[in-house]
Amino acid sequence: MKPLPPFPTGDVHDFDFLMGEWTCVNRKLKQRLVGSDNWDVFTSRMRCQPYLGGLSNVEETVFERGFSGMALRLFDVAQRRWSIHWIDSRNGVLTPPVHGGFTGDHGRFYGEDTEGGRPVQVVFHWLRQGTDRASWEQAFSLDGETWETNWVMEFTRAA
């Protein structure tokens, strides 16, 4: 497997745009890394709050599919990058983090995990779209060269 690219750096204010409450449309591949194009579409509600003066934030998402999840984001001041950890109510396991930051409105975060017992590289893509819209995508790779987007979330700020 090709090594991960260098982790992007960012700023402690990278996720300030995400604070508050959001509604979301999710598109998630029903089967990952098998060449499928069969998507499950469902909604969720998300709330994000800052902690430690903005050095961390916690996002809790409640999915209409009957489960919830939580992202814990931590900013490393010395390395100037974020680590993002995920846990959900289906298994209660904290996943390995992805690391990175934003350049302008584009955030990129890389890490390693497993999918179906196989090691995968993971990339998160964030896109800030003004003050009331944002998007997030997750993609996996088995070789570090070919990437499959397997989850897309389109956020709209809740009224």
Quick one: which of 133, 122, 152 has its CA closest to 39?
152
d(CA 152, CA 148): 11
pLDDT for position 75: 98
Q: Is the pLDDT of residue 137 over 90?
A: yes
In the predicted structure, residue 4 carries a pLDDT above the cut 90: no
For the chain, the first-to-last Cα distance in angstroms comes to: 45
CA distances from 101 to 28, 77, 92, 136 (A): 24, 12, 26, 13
Structure tokens at 101: 């930051």
Would you say residue 148 has pLDDT above 90? yes
State pLDDT tens for residues 54-108: 999 999 999 999 999 999 999 999 999 999 999 999 999 999 999 999 999 999 9
Three-state SS sequence of the chain: CCCCCCCCCCCCCCCHHHCEEEEEEEEEECCCCCCCCCEEEEEEEEEEEEEHHHCEEEEEEEECCCCEEEEEEEEECCCCEEEEEEEECCCCCCCCCEEEEEECCEEEEEEEEEECCEEEEEEEEEEECCCCEEEEEEEEECCCCCCEEEEEEEEEECC
**16-157, CATH topology level:** Lipocalin (2.40.128)
Q: Is the pLDDT of residue 6 over 90?
A: no
pLDDT of res. 159: 78
The pLDDT score that the predictor gives to residue 67 is 95
Mean pLDDT of all residues in 126-144:
97
pLDDT digits (tens, 9 = 90+) for 7-65: 899 999 999 999 999 999 999 999 999 999 999 999 999 999 999 999 999 999 999 99
CB 158 within 8 A of CB 20: yes
Token pair listed for 77: 């001041």
Q: Where are the domains of the chain?
A: 16-157
pLDDT band, residue 139 (cuts 50/70/90): very high
Contact 150, 140 (CB under 8 A): yes
Q: Is the pLDDT of residue 1 over 90?
A: no
